[in-house]
C-alpha cells in the first residue's frame, strides 16, 4: 500500500513540477525574445547609420571612413574580438602588449573593412533573421539588397558587454558569406604565433597599419 | 581524336591521383601542408606573372558590359551542373528554379549573354558535386591545393571530373572550344576580382592560411545551405580561453607549462 501511495505522490509531484516548468518557460520566453529583438534592433540602427553616411554626397573617402569608424567603435567590442582572435595566444601577451594589440587591431579592422564598405553606396540592407546561440550570444543575419554586393549575406554576432546581464549588446564577429572574421584572423595569428613571439606579431600589425592605404 | 575517350582518360587519372587521399590519417585540416604550400606558391607565381597582368589588360580593354556578358554566358553553360546537383540532393524546388533560369536565359537572354532570370527575381543557386557529397555526410577530408585549379579538398576535388561530365557543352563542341571558353572565363573572372585579390594579399598575415581558412569556411557554409556555422568548424571560436582551437600547430602549445598571469 505504501508503494501505491508513494507512487501517487510521485505522480503528483511530477505533474506539479511539469506545470511549474511550463510556467517558468512561459515567463522566461519573452525575456529571451526581448534579448534577441534588442540585439536585432541594434544591428538595424547601426546598419542604417552607416548607410546614411554612405548616402551623404560630397564626402571624400577619408571623411566617410572616419564617420563610419565613429559609429562602429561604439558597437564593436574590440577587447573581446582581440581575445577571440588571439585565442590561447592571448596568454603570451603582457598587459602592455595586450593593450597595444587591441588598439592596433582596431585600426587594422577599420582599415581593412572600412575601405571596402565605402565602395558600396547604393545598397539597402534587410534583416533576415536572428539566432540565439548556446552561449547566450545572438547572431543577426542580414542580406545586402541591390548594388555591386547584391545578395551577399552578412551575419553579426553580438554578446552583452563583459557578459553582464544588463551589459549593452556589442558586435564580436562579422560573418560574410559564411566567412567569420574571427576565424580568419585566428587561423592566421595562430600560424604567426606558432613560430614567432607576440612582439613580432605586433610589429607586423603596426607595419600593416602604417602601410600606404589600399 | 575521340573527345569522350580523352575525357574518360583524364577522369581516370584524377581518380587515381586522389583516390588514396580520404584514407590518409588526418591531423587537423591540412596534413598535406608541405605539398599544398609548394603548389600554392606555384599557382601564386603563375597568377602574378601571367594571369594578373593579362587580366589587368583585359579589364582595361574590354568594357564592363562585355565582361558581364562573358560571365553570364559562362555561368549559363555551367548552370546544368547546379541543376544536376539540385536533383542529386533532392532539392526539387531549386531544380525547377534553375531549370527555369536556363530556359529564360538561353532564350530571352540571347544564349545566356544577359542574365534575364536574375532581373525577374530568379536568383541562381550554386551547387556542385562536392556539396552533394557533403550533404550526404562525406566530410571534406584533407585540404588540397590543386595545380592551376586552386584550393580544394579530398572531397571537393571529385567535382572536377563529375561536374565536368554534367556540362552539356562538353558534348556538343570540340574539347578545344570548351577549354578556350574556360580560359577566357578565367581571365574574365580574374579581371572582375583584381582589386579584391590585391587587397586580400596585402592585408593577409599569412596569405596561404587566409585562403585555406576562407575556402574551408565557404564550403562548409554552402554544404549546410547557409544555416550558420556548423559545430565542427565553430569549435570553441567564441570561447575566451580557446584552449583547444582546431588547426593550431603544435608549436603554439609551447606556452603549455608557463604560468598564466591572469
Question: Averaged over A89-113, what is the pLDDT?
Answer: 94
Is the pLDDT assigned to residue A7 strictly greater than 90? no
Q: pTM for this structure?
A: 0.81
Which residue from A92, A137, A184 is facing B238, i.e. has the nearest CB?
A: A137
Is the pLDDT assigned to residue B47 strictly greater than 60? yes
B12 pLDDT band, cuts 50/70/90, is very low
Cβ distance of A84 and B238 shorter than 8 Å? yes
pLDDT score, position B250: 39
- Here the ipTM equals 0.81
pLDDT tens digits, A153-192:
999 999 999 888 889 999 999 999 899 999 999 999 999 9
- Domain residues of chain B, as ranges? 28-255
pLDDT score, position A120: 73
Task: Give the whole-angstrom CA distance, residue B240 versus residue B259.
Answer: 18
Q: Choose, out of A81, A85, A88, the residue to mutate when testing the contact with B (most B CBs < 10 Å).
A: A88
Tell me which DSSP letter residue A212 carries. P
Task: Give the whole-angstrom CA distance, residue B51 versus residue B188.
Answer: 10
Query: Smallest Cα–Cα separation from B14: which of B144, B133, B140, B127?
Result: B144
Interface of B with A in 162-191 (CB under 8 A): none
Is the pLDDT assigned to residue B126 strictly greater than 50? yes
- Percentages helix, strand, coil for chain B (3-state, rounded to 5) are 65, 5, 30
A70 touches chain B (CB under 8 A): no
pLDDT score, position B134: 95
Is the pLDDT assigned to residue A38 strictly greater than 50? yes
A213 touches chain B (CB under 8 A): no
pLDDT score, position A82: 96
Is A43 in contact with A128 (CB distance < 8 Å)? no
CA distance, residue A187 to nearest chain B CA (Å): 7
B123 pLDDT band, cuts 50/70/90, is confident
The overall average pLDDT reported for chain A is 86
pLDDT tens digits, B49-101:
999 999 999 999 999 999 999 999 999 999 999 999 999 999 999 999 999 99
CATH class of the region A2-210: alpha beta
B251 pLDDT band, cuts 50/70/90, is very low
pLDDT score, position A124: 87
Residue B223 phi, psi (nearest 5): -60, -40
Amino acid at each position: 500500500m505504501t508503494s501505491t501511495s508513494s507512487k501517487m505522490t510521485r505522480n503528483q509531484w511530477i505533474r506539479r513540477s511539469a506545470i511549474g516548468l511550463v510556467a517558468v518557460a512561459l515567463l522566461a520566453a519573452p525575456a529571451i525574445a526581448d534579448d534577441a529583438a534588442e540585439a536585432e534592433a541594434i544591428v538595424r540602427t547601426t546598419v542604417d547609420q552607416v548607410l546614411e553616411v554612405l548616402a551623404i554626397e560630397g564626402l571624400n573617402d577619408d571623411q566617410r571612413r572616419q564617420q563610419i569608424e565613429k559609429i562602429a567603435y561604439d558597437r564593436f567590442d574590440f577587447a573581446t574580438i582581440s581575445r577571440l582572435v588571439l585565442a590561447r595566444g592571448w596568454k603570451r601577451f603582457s598587459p602592455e602588449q595586450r593593450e597595444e594589440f587591441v588598439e592596433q587591431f582596431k585600426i587594422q579592422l577599420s582599415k581593412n573593412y572600412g575601405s571596402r564598405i565605402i565602395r558600396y553606396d547604393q545598397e539597402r540592407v534587410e534583416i533576415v533573421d536572428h539566432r540565439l546561440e548556446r552561449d547566450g550570444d545572438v547572431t543577426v543575419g542580414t542580406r545586402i539588397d541591390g548594388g555591386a554586393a547584391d545578395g551577399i549575406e552578412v551575419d553579426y554576432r553580438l554578446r552583452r558587454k563583459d557578459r553582464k546581464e544588463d551589459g549593452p549588446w556589442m558586435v564580436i564577429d562579422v560573418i560574410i558569406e559564411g566567412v567569420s572574421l574571427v576565424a580568419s584572423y585566428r587561423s592566421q595569428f595562430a600560424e604567426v604565433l606558432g613560430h614567432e613571439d607576440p612582439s613580432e606579431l605586433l610589429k607586423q600589425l603596426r607595419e600593416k597599419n602604417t602601410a600606404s592605404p589600399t | 581524336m575521340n573527345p569522350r575517350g580523352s575525357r574518360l582518360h583524364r577522369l581516370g587519372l584524377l581518380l587515381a591521383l586522389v583516390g588514396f587521399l580520404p584514407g590518409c590519417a588526418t591531423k587537423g585540416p591540412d596534413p598535406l601542408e608541405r605539398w599544398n604550400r609548394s603548389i600554392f606558391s606555384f599557382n601564386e607565381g603563375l597568377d602574378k606573372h601571367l594571369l594578373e597582368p593579362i587580366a589587368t589588360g583585359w579589364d582595361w580593354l574590354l568594357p564592363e558590359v562585355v565582361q558581364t556578358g562573358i560571365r553570364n554566358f559562362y555561368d549559363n553553360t555551367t548552370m546544368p551542373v547546379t541543376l544536376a546537383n539540385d536533383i542529386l540532393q533532392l532539392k526539387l524546388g531549386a531544380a525547377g528554379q534553375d531549370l527555369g533560369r536556363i530556359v529564360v536565359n538561353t532564350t530571352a537572354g540571347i544564349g545566356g549573354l544577359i542574365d534575364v532570370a536574375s532581373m525577374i527575381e530568379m536568383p541562381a543557386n550554386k551547387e556542385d558535386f562536392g556539396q552533394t557529397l557533403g550533404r550526404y555526410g562525406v566530410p571534406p577530408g584533407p585540404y588540397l591545393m590543386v595545380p592551376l585549379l586552386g584550393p580544394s579538398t579530398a572531397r571537393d576535388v571529385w567535382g572536377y571530373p563529375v561536374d565536368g561530365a554534367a556540362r552539356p557543352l562538353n558534348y556538343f563542341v570540340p574539347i578545344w572550344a570548351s577549354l578556350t571558353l574556360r580560359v577566357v572565363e578565367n581571365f574574365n573572372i580574374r579581371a572582375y576580382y583584381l582589386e579584391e585579390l590585391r587587397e586580400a594579399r596585402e592585408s593577409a598575415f599569412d596569405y596561404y592560411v587566409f585562403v585555406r581558412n576562407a575556402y574551408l569556411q565557404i564550403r562548409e557554409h554552402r554544404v549546410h545551405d547557409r544555416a550558420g556555422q556548423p559545430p565542427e568548424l565553430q569549435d570553441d571560436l567564441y570561447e575566451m580561453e580557446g584552449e583547444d582551437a582546431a588547426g593550431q600547430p603544435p608549436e603554439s602549445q609551447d606556452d603549455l607549462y608557463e604560468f598564466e598571469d591572469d
